[in-house]
C-alpha cells in the first residue's frame, strides 16, 4: 500500500511555548481551527490522550478517534488515528514547534496516510483534504496565537473610586 508523507509549515510571531499550549488544548480546537466542528476528550492522563474529532474534509463532515502523545519539553505532539473514516485506511503525524528566537517559532505539521485499497481516486481526495485543512489550521493557529500574544502587551487594568450621595 502507498503511504504518503506530507509536511506543512508556518512561522509565527510568538514564543514556542505559547504555540504549544494552544495546540495541546484540544478541547478549544473548534474555536481555533475552522475545519473542526467538535472534539470530545475520551481519556487523558497528562501526556497521553484519546480524542474523538468531528471535522470537515473537502467540505464533508467526518469523524475519527485519535490517540495523541504530548511532549511539552520537546514541543511536540504526535497523533495517530485509531478509528478512521472512509476513505482513510490509516493516518498519523505530528505537530512540531521549533523556537526561532524568544518571540517567534516555526510550526511543522506532518502527516502520513494511506487510502483504503490503495485507491488512486481516494488517495487524491485525501491529498486535497490534508492540504486544505493543514493550510487552514496553520493560518488559524498563527492568527490566534499572534492575537493572544499581542494582546498581552496592550491589556491593562485600573481601579477608580466614585462617591455617590444617597441613603444607605
Grid cell at residue 69: 502523545
Lowest-confidence segment of 27-31, 89-93, 128-132, 157-161 by average pLDDT = 157-161
pLDDT at 154 over 90: no
Answer yes or no: is 161 within a domain.
no
> Quick one: CA torsion of 140, 145, 147, 150, rounded to 10 degrees?
-160
Answer yes or no: is 77 within a domain.
yes
User: What range does the domain containing 28 cover?
Assistant: 4-152
Instruction: Give the confidence band of 157 by pLDDT, cuts at 50, 70, 90.
Output: low
Answer yes or no: is 139 within a domain.
yes
φ, ψ of residue 131 to 5 degrees: the values are: -65, -50
Grid cell at residue 24: 495541546
Q: CATH code at 78?
A: 3.30.530.20
List pLDDT tens digits, range 79-116: 999 999 999 999 999 999 999 999 999 999 999 999 99
CB 110 within 8 A of CB 85: no
Mean pLDDT, residues 110-136: 96
Answer yes or no: is 66 within a domain.
yes
Answer yes or no: is 124 within a domain.
yes
Answer yes or no: is 59 within a domain.
yes
C-alpha span between 142 and 161 (Å, rounded): 40
Split into its structural domains, the chain has a count of 1
pLDDT at 156 over 60: no
DSSP 32-45: H-TTEEEEEEEEE-
Q: What is the pLDDT of residue 158?
A: 57
C-alpha span between 17 and 55 (Å, rounded): 26
Q: What is the pLDDT of residue 117?
A: 92
Answer yes or no: is 168 within a domain.
no
Answer yes or no: is 18 within a domain.
yes
C-alpha span between 13 and 46 (Å, rounded): 27
* Residue located via cell numbers 476513505: 87
Q: What is the pLDDT of residue 30?
A: 93
Amino acid at each position: 500500500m502507498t503511504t504518503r508523507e506530507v509536511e506543512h509549515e508556518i512561522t509565527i510571531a510568538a514564543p514556542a511555548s505559547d504555540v504549544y499550549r494552544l495546540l495541546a488544548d484540544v478541547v478549544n480546537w473548534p474555536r481555533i481551527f475552522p475545519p473542526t466542528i467538535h472534539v470530545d476528550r475520551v481519556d487523558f492522563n497528562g501526556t497521553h490522550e484519546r480524542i474523538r474529532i468531528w471535522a470537515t474534509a473537502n467540505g464533508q463532515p467526518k469523524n475519527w478517534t485519535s490517540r495523541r502523545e504530548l511532549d511539552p519539553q520537546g514541543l511536540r505532539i504526535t497523533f495517530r488515528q485509531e478509528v478512521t473514516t472512509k476513505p482513510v485506511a490509516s493516518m498519523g503525524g505530528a505537530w512540531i514547534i521549533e523556537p526561532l528566537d524568544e518571540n517567534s517559532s516555526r510550526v511543522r505539521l506532518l502527516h502520513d496516510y494511506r487510502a483504503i485499497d490503495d485507491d488512486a481516486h481516494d488517495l487524491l481526495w485525501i491529498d486535497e483534504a490534508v492540504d486544505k485543512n493543514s493550510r487552514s489550521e496553520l493560518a488559524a493557529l498563527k492568527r490566534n496565537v499572534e492575537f493572544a500574544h499581542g494582546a498581552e502587551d496592550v491589556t491593562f487594568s485600573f481601579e477608580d473610586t466614585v462617591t455617590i450621595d444617597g441613603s444607605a
